[in-house]
Structure 1
Amino acid sequence: MNALSSTALSGLQAAQLRLDAAASNIANANTPGYRRVSALQQATPDGGVQAQLQRAPQAGAALEQDVVEQLSATYAFKANLRTLQAQQQTLGALLDTQA
Structure 2
Amino acid sequence: MTVRMAQLMHVYSDQYEEYERRHNNLFPDMRQALKDAGAHNYSIYLDKKTGNLFAYLEVDDIEKYNQIASTPACKKWWAYMEPLMDTNPDKSPVTIDLHEVFHLD
TM range (shorter): under 0.3
Which structure is richer in relative contact order (CA contacts within 8 A, separation 6 or more)?
A: 2
Q: Which has the larger radius of gyration?
A: 1
Q: Which has the higher strand share?
A: 2
TM superposition score normalised by structure 2: 0.27
TM superposition score normalised by structure 1: 0.28
Q: Which has the higher helix share?
A: 1
